[in-house]
């Protein structure tokens, strides 16, 4: 596999550009992570799944990737929530950071190579603020709690270059609040005084805590040096967060901050319809009660990462809320795992080989290159999934042909080799998107357990009905057997008679 074909949309230049890492072959990526005070929602999942695909795909394209994702464990929202709960802010954020990490892992996100936290980065943050003050890009202002430090936006001539905004237009929209101690309404806090009794760290300006934006400048530079390749986050971070990161970093170090800026689109929910039942967001935890994390990932990858996604919800007559788009994605993920199982059984250890020019052979031969080409093109996962959706049925056809060719040893051997090649192709197509990363029996066991639970059933109930049906069939009481099948169907159980009807398998539908 070659490198050099990857092209990504750069928010800074507003163009799709070739990825050209500063150090050839090594891509250094920084992504703004979660503020850990509550459950992560579908919008967070979308952003972090998109950047997980970036990392996995670059590795599939033979790049070395250093992936940094921070944890914002000091923030006003955390302080407020902790005060409401009577908990220490760092205890709350530590607890929620573990919950959030599990939520992201459930969506198939790899852990980052480095995961800096604000609470552990205060010395680096203080050093950076000192440097900005020394360069007169920042100034100290007295408050009743002590001394704050603000970034002087007018001192940085490039302000607005990422969000393509003009400083004067920004000023007309900003208001100076009465009693505001900032010199200019656009200036933002680097350090906030907390008073002697408040939460914070000692600093040259007294006790306080960092403002939000400064942390990412300091942590990215510590982890990756002040100049690195890709900076990512959700689209809502472009302004002011990322604009401010650029201003702080470039004012302090004088060299360009990130080379390429990537931003994922929003997840939209019909707020009016949903506000009464669920609020205007759905958490990953709520989705995981009903669906597999891999189904959520597949659903999110169905749209290109920059376009908005509509997250549909449907309220059932019994009051349950379901997610039809994720349900459909879960059926597709089921099908991919089942396809993989079928191929492994068909290939029976054969050496992969693609002979001839049958439609199936052509599909198997071209699939991986087509998927990688789609991902080369600014991570076009929706096209990649559509190629996978051609490959899987073609692969199932190969398995069917092998089963039918029983007596033709040559055809069986050719088919088994093609099945082995199809299996390899499916894996190579799925790997960069983080799909099919679970052993199939584990996936089937966990989805079955969850689906039975949702339907209030246990496996023993189903087994006993399946056995009764088999007994009825053996006794040639077909009316009873059909009645039991109808009952199982009604329960959401799909049964399949295998090995000429001697054995029945069953599965719970999504
Ligand atoms: Zn950030």
Residue spans of the domains in the chain: they are 7-265, 273-433, 455-508
Query: Ligand 1 center to residue 112 CA distance, Å?
Result: 15
Query: Ligand 1 center to residue 183 CA distance, Å?
Result: 24
Q: Could you tell me what percentage of the chain is helix, strand and coil, using 3-state DSSP and rounding each to the nearest 5?
A: 50, 15, 30
Query: Ligand 1 center to residue 237 CA distance, Å?
Result: 8
Query: Ligand 1 center to residue 175 CA distance, Å?
Result: 25
Q: Check for a shared fold between 7-265 and 273-433.
A: no
The rounded distance, in Å, linking the Cα atoms of 91 and 156 is 37
What's residue 170's pLDDT? Answer: 82
| Structural contact between residues 115 and 69, judged by C-beta atoms closer than 8 angstroms | yes
Query: Ligand 1 center to residue 308 CA distance, Å?
Result: 21
Query: Ligand 1 center to residue 244 CA distance, Å?
Result: 9
Low-confidence ranges of the chain (pLDDT < 50): 1-3, 272-277
- Residues 262-286 have pLDDT tens digits of 999 999 887 533 333 456 789 999 9
Three-state SS at 24: coil
Query: Ligand 1 center to residue 32 CA distance, Å?
Result: 4
Query: Ligand 1 center to residue 60 CA distance, Å?
Result: 26
**Architecture of the domain defined by 273-433:** Orthogonal Bundle (1.10)
**CA-closest candidate to residue 215, choices 79, 71, 118:** 118
**CA-closest candidate to residue 215, choices 195, 198, 192:** 192
Query: Ligand 1 center to residue 11 CA distance, Å?
Result: 15
What's residue 248's pLDDT? Answer: 98
| Structural contact between residues 238 and 95, judged by C-beta atoms closer than 8 angstroms | no
Hey, which residues does 26 pair with through a beta bridge?
23, 64
What's residue 3's pLDDT? Answer: 47
What's residue 1's pLDDT? Answer: 42
Query: Ligand 1 center to residue 128 CA distance, Å?
Result: 15
Give the fold, CATH level 3, of 7-265: Rossmann fold (3.40.50)
Q: What is the mean pLDDT of the chain?
A: 93
Query: Ligand 1 center to residue 214 CA distance, Å?
Result: 8
Query: Ligand 1 center to residue 231 CA distance, Å?
Result: 9
- Residues 350-371 have pLDDT tens digits of 999 999 999 999 999 999 999 9
List the alpha helices (DSSP H) in 88-137.
89-106, 122-134
| Structural contact between residues 138 and 152, judged by C-beta atoms closer than 8 angstroms | yes
Query: Ligand 1 center to residue 198 CA distance, Å?
Result: 24
What contacts 336, CB < 8 A, 6 or more positions away? 388, 392, 426, 430, 435, 436
The rounded distance, in Å, linking the Cα atoms of 89 and 261 is 31
What's residue 179's pLDDT? Answer: 65
């Amino acid at each position: 596999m070659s490198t050099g074909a990857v092209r990504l949309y750069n928010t800074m230049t507003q163009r799709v550009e070739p990825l050209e890492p500063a150090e050839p072959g090594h891509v250094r990526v920084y992504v703004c992570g979660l503020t850990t005070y509550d459950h992560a929602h579908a919008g967070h999942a979308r952003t972090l799944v998109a950047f997980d695909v970036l990392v996995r795909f670059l590795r599939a394209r033979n790049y070395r990737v250093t992936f940094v994702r921070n944890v914002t464990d000091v923030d006003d929202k955390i302080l407020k929530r902790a005060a409401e709960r009577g908990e220490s802010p760092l205890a709350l954020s530590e607890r929620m950071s573990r919950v959030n990490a599990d939520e992201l892992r459930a969506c198939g996100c790899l852990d980052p190579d480095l995961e800096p936290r604000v609470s552990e980065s205060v010395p680096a943050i203080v050093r950076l603020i000192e440097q900005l003050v020394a360069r007169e890009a920042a100034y100290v202002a007295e408050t009743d709690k002590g001394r704050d430090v603000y970034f002087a936006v007018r001192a940085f001539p490039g302000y607005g270059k990422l969000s393509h905004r003009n400083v004067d237009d920004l000023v007309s929209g900003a208001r100076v609040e009465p009693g505001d101690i900032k010199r200019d309404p656009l200036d933002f806090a680097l350090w906030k005084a907390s008073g002697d009794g408040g939460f914070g760290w000692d600093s040259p300006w007294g006790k306080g805590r960092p403002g939000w934006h400064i942390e990412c400048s300091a942590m990215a530079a510590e982890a990756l040096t002040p100049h690195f390749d890709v900076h990512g986050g959700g689209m809502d971070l472009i302004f002011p967060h990322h604009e401010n990161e650029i201003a702080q970093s470039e004012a302090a170090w004088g060299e360009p901050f990130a080379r390429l800026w990537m931003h994922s689109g929003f997840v939209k929910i019909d707020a009016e319809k949903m506000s009464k039942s669920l609020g205007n967001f759905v958490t990953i935890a709520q989705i995981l009660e009903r669906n597999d994390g891999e189904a959520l990932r597949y659903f999110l990858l169905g749209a290109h990462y920059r376009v908005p996604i509509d997250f549909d919800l449907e309220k059932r007559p019994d009051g349950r809320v379901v997610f039809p788009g994720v349900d459909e994605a879960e059926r597709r993920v089921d099908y991919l795992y089942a396809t993989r199982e079928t191929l492994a059984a068909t290939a029976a250890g054969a050496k992969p080989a693609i002979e001839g020019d049958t439609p199936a052979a052509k599909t198997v031969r071209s699939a991986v290159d087509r998927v990688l080409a789609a991902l080369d093109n600014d991570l076009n996962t929706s096209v990649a999934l559509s190629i996978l959706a051609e490959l899987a049925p073609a692969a199932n056809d190969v398995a069917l042909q092998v089963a039918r060719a029983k007596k033709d040893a040559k055809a069986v051997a050719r088919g088994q080799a093609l099945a082995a090649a199809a299996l390899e192709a499916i894996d190579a197509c799925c790997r960069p998107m983080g799909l099919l990363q679970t052993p199939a029996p584990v996936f089937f066991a966990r989805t079955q357990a969850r689906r039975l639970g949702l339907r209030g059933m246990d496996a023993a109930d189903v087994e006993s009905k399946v056995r009764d049906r088999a007994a009825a069939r053996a006794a040639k009481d077909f009316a009873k057997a059909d009645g039991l099948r109808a009952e199982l169907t009604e329960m959401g159980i799909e049964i399949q008679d295998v090995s000429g009807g001697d054995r029945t398998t069953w599965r719970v539908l999504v």
